[in-house]
Amino acid sequence: MHSQARRLNGLSEKIIGAAIVVHRALGPGLLEAPYEECLCHELEKLGLRFERQKPLPLVYGNVKLACAYRMDLVVENSIVVEVKAVTRMERVHEAQLISYLKISGLHLGLLVNFNVRNLSGQGIVRKVNEFPE
């Protein structure tokens, strides 16, 4: 496996582990903001760098839409993490993450829905955009 792929896989495992810690402590039923805040706290404890609500400009032809989107978290300039607290994950949520990956040029994204009984079984979707070999 390529070293970048190994790095991304290891990083995603740490992020998922942090999300599980948050979910065990808080359980389902809150809004997205507290989950995001607590996840950031856990990422800090792991020594991971991240940006919150990172603007994602969209270029359309020769027009740059400065703040077309905001990504919930970008961890280590490598992985997009979208935090959800929804009754059911919809295709639109996955499409949103895939779009963020394509527009940003990043290779890996995690969709984390904290509003589930078992986070590791139902609440995490991993999406790949041209994963390095």
Spatial strand order of the sheet with 79-84 comes to: 50-60, 63-75, 79-84, 108-113, 124-128
Q: Which pLDDT score, from 0 to 100, does residue 1 have? A: 55
What pLDDT is stored for residue 58 in this prediction? Answer: 83
Confidence at residue 24, expressed as pLDDT on a 0 to 100 scale: 96
State the chain's mean pLDDT as an integer. 92
The domain segmentation of the chain, as residue ranges, is 3-128
Helix (H) or strand (E) holding 124: strand 124-128
Q: Which two tokens stand for residue 91?
A: 């295709």
Q: Indicate the pairing of strand 108-113 with strand 79-84.
A: parallel
Return the pLDDT at 60.
Answer: 81
Regions of the chain with pLDDT less than 70: 1, 67-68, 131-133
DSSP 114: -
Place of tokens 């984390």: 112
Cβ atoms of residues 47 and 20 within 8 Å: no
